[in-house]
């Protein structure tokens, strides 16, 4: 099949579920990325290459939810070595400033190369002459090179959803040079923040001895990639703000938000945290600050924290350790401060439908985002999108990409527990006029710079990047 637009992302935009007759079928797993790329996929006859999330053979090319999809199969061994190992226990901690110690195993690296080759093979098979290929995230950093070596005619873009670390940290990676070469197969490399792009350019100079000029890396003619210029630039990702606001405005969702407050015992202040249960999100820091505030009585007696911690990467050791740590901290706070029927922390280790998430955002007076490192953090933007009545306050870590854009937030260094406590108190006691002023600022940004704007800007830049006879993607 020849497609003019090819997306390669670690996961397919669908989940395999069991149908009523017991047969496997596919259910859309709606996410920001698929809603951003769907219009381009439809207009340009695009295809999405990804892994289903289960060990086993590839499902083969199929259509689901109106999209052409190609599955990549991973054996149980590759799931362990590539996904749980190199992606989640090497690259993820390394790229998040070694909050957890990264592990380096040669077997995991070999699995990473193998899986990246499978993705590249599928992309080469699917791409029409001159097609545009957009590769996503740290799981697929070698795919640009593996495609480029076979197809000089394609226009290749890569977007890194997580931070790209400073060179002192990146330099620990035994395969740093191979990763740089892998990425340099692309014509355009997109990063969430300026420091990500700058860190990458520095890594090109230091790890690979290449020359950079401004935002451009010069790839020399002696390698397998041919002499080319590669552009590294910043494209902060966003959300489908209008669609989420529409959900938040539904009567059923507003009613559910009111019911949540009622179920919480109609407190004066509802604080909310929503995160994948991940050590990058700073959940223990948030709980420490909240526990101390309760002890000091600075938030008054009628306050609750709802902490949604959606299950994530449960087979990776560091995530099991974090879960125990968080659950111990929650029990300690509740043990010290609860009265019968009214715990000060409501902890939900569960995933929720989108409508319930919107209701939670509506029910919260203060949203807490305390990541220690986060490429963007979409939760912060989702909270803002839901607050169409311009109420509510956001406490936001300065170590998120969102902090560059959401100037109406109370910015915090989550390691500074005193500073974090002060910010929570200020956010919880904000005047309605001040809250409106801050929220209006943030809403303007999130509404104008939505995920469609992100995709348009990236693809617009990619199609203007000179490359042989490449075709234009319909935007």
Residue 350: strand, helix, or coil: coil
Contact letters (x/-) for ligand GDG, 343-362, by CB under 6 A?
--------xxxx--x-----
> From edge to edge, which strands make up the β-sheet containing 366-369?
345-348, 303-310, 269-276, 366-369, 393-397, 410-412
Closer residue to ligand GDG, CB minimum distance, 109 or 235:
235
Q: Report whether 261 contacts 77 (CB < 8 A).
A: no
Does residue 378 touch ligand GDG according to CB under 6 A?
Answer: yes
**What phi and psi values does residue 104 have, to the nearest 5 degrees?**
-115, 115
Total chain residues near ligand GDG (CB under 6 A): 19
Closer residue to ligand GDG, CB minimum distance, 379 or 446:
379
Q: Which two tokens stand for residue 41?
A: 């996929």
Which residues are CB-neighbours of 204 under 8 A, at least 6 positions away? 180, 184, 210, 212, 217
Does residue 27 touch ligand GDG according to CB under 6 A?
Answer: no
Task: Single out the segment in contact with ligand GDG by CB under 6 A; choices: 76-84, 125-133, 372-380, 383-391.
Answer: 372-380
* Residue 427 to residue 50: CA distance in whole angstroms: 41
- Least distance (Å) between residue 310 CB and ligand GDG: 4
Q: Report whether 367 contacts 395 (CB < 8 A).
A: yes
Closer residue to ligand GDG, CB minimum distance, 180 or 237:
237
- Least distance (Å) between residue 22 CB and ligand GDG: 26
Does residue 276 touch ligand GDG according to CB under 6 A?
Answer: yes
- Least distance (Å) between residue 413 CB and ligand GDG: 18
Q: Which residue in the set 237, 287, 299, 428 belongs to the binding site for ligand GDG (CB under 6 A)?
A: 237
For residue 392, the tally of other CB atoms under 10 A from its CB is 25
Closer residue to ligand GDG, CB minimum distance, 378 or 459:
378
Q: Which residue in the set 162, 330, 333, 386 belongs to the binding site for ligand GDG (CB under 6 A)?
A: 162
Q: Which residue in the set 81, 187, 365, 382 belongs to the binding site for ligand GDG (CB under 6 A)?
A: 382
- Least distance (Å) between residue 280 CB and ligand GDG: 7
Beta strand 228-234 with 269-276 is: unpaired
Helix, strand, coil percent values for the chain (each to nearest 5)? 45, 20, 35
Distances (CA, A) of 201 to 34, 72, 143, 227, 368: 29, 31, 19, 17, 33
- Least distance (Å) between residue 382 CB and ligand GDG: 5
List residues binding ligand GDG (CB under 6 A): 161-162, 237, 274, 276, 308, 310, 351-354, 357, 374-379, 382
């Amino acid at each position: 099949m020849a497609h003019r637009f090819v997306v390669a992302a670690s996961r397919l935009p669908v989940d395999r579920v069991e149908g009523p007759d017991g047969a496997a079928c596919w259910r859309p797993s709606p996410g920001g990325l698929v809603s951003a790329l769907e219009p381009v996929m439809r207009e340009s006859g695009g295809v999405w290459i990804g892994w289903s999330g289960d060990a086993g053979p590839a499902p083969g090319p199929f259509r689901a939810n109106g999209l052409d999809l190609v599955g990549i199969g991973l054996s149980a061994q590759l799931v362990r070595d590539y996904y749980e190992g190199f992606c989640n226990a090497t690259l993820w901690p390394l790229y998040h400033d070694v909050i957890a110690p990264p592990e380096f195993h040669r077997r995991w690296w070999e699995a990473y190369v193998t899986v990246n080759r499978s993705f590249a093979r599928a992309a080469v098979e699917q791409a029409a002459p001159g097609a545009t290929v957009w590769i996503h995230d740290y799981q697929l950093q070698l795919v640009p090179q593996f495609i480029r070596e076979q197809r000089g005619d394609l226009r290749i873009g890569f977007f890194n959803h997580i931070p790209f670390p400073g060179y002192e940290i990146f330099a620990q990676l035994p395969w740093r040079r191979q990763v740089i070469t892998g990425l340099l197969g692309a014509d355009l490399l997109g990063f969430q923040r300026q420091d990500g792009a700058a860190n990458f350019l520095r890594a090109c100079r230091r790890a690979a001895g290449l020359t950079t000029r401004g935002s451009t890396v010069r790839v020399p003619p002696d390698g397998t990639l041919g002499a080319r210029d590669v552009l590294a630039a910043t494209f902060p990702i966003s959300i489908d703000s209008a669609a989420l606001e529409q959900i938040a405005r539904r009567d059923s969702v507003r009613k559910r938000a009111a019911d949540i407050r009622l179920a919480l015992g109609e407190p004066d202040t509802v604080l909310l945290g929503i995160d994948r249960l991940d050590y990058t999100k700073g959940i223990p820091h948030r709980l420490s600050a909240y526990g101390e505030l309760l002890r000091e009585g600075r938030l008054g007696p009628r306050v609750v924290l709802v902490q949604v911690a959606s299950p994530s990467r449960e087979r990776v050791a560091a995530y099991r350790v974090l879960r125990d740590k968080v659950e111990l901290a929650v029990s300690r706070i509740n043990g010290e401060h609860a009265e019968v029927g009214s715990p000060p922390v409501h902890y939900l280790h569960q995933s929720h439908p989108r409508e319930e998430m919107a209701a939670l955002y509506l029910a919260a007076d203060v949203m807490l985002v305390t990541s220690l490192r986060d490429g963007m953090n979409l939760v912060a933007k989702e909270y803002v999108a839901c607050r169409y009545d311009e109420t509510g306050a956001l406490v936001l870590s300065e170590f998120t990409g969102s902090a560059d854009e959401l100037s109406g937030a109370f910015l915090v260094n989550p390691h500074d527990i005193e500073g974090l406590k002060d910010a929570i108190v200020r956010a919880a006691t904000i005047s309605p006029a001040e809250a409106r002023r801050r929220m209006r600022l943030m809403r303007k940004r999130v509404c104008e710079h939505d995920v469609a704007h992100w995709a348009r800007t990236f693809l617009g830049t990619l199609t203007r990047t000179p490359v042989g006879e490449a075709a234009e993607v319909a935007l």
